[in-house]
Amino acid sequence: MNVKMKNCLLAALLLFIAPIALADTLSGRVISVTDGDTVVFMTGGNELRVRLTEIDAPENDQPFGDEATAMLADMVSQDLVTLESEGTDRYGRTLGRFYVGDLDVNREMVTRGGAWVYRDYMSDSSFLENETAAREAGRGLWALDEPIKPWNWRRGERLPAPAITPVSSVSDSPWSCSDKPYCGDMTSCAQAYFHLEQCGLQRLDRDKDGVPCESICR
């Protein structure tokens, strides 16, 4: 094998293993829990402020904020936890997923109803299944009458969206399921709910939170 071919093979190998090297596995303990998705983690004598990936928990001043913080603390209060780190965010926090034994803490926060899936930064879409199951079972924050998404809360939203009176049946509706419209075709939130619930147009609810066409159903 000539030198040129060896160099090519080496370059290909480095490209293959590079993504694996991006994630570091660290062992340590959580010394404090800031909220339902942020902790201070001690590993190798160093303190890291860690933001859990895939999820967004209620803010501390938000309904269910204290409960979400307590839920996370209960899971990571073990002597030893494992962090799979995935770099840092713009605030200098380490990003990653925590494990206690075989328990995926980030996923469990969603499963127990302690957090939403963070759509804007989601890399594992299977978390949406856990959120749907938690919502349908009314677990955690889903037992609230009108839970407000934390990214909306941070933008100042405090009141739930106005209730929409659903159309009881297709025959009672001024709209037709044969229209098969998109969100851009909707003239009201009630029409969007009709096409989602009565016609089954799941494309109107892209983030799978049960609210269609959020540009008009906020």
Residue of 133, 128, 123, 68 lying closest to 96 (CA atoms)? 123
Alpha-carbon Rg for the chain in angstroms: 22
Q: Is 63 exposed, middle or buried (0-12, 13-18, 19+ CB in 10 A)?
A: middle
Say if CB 100 and CB 30 are below 8 A apart. no
Output DSSP code: residue 195: I
Say if CB 37 and CB 141 are below 8 A apart. no
Output DSSP code: residue 114: S
CA–CA separation, 78 vs 42, rounded Å? 13
DSSP secondary structure string for all residues of 79-110: S-EEEEEEEE-TTSPEEEEEEETTEEHHHHHH
Output DSSP code: residue 145: S
Specify whether 59 is catalytic: yes
Specify whether 203 is catalytic: no
The one catalytic residue among 49, 93, 119, 139: 93
Q: What amino acid positions are annotated as catalytic residues?
A: 51, 59, 93
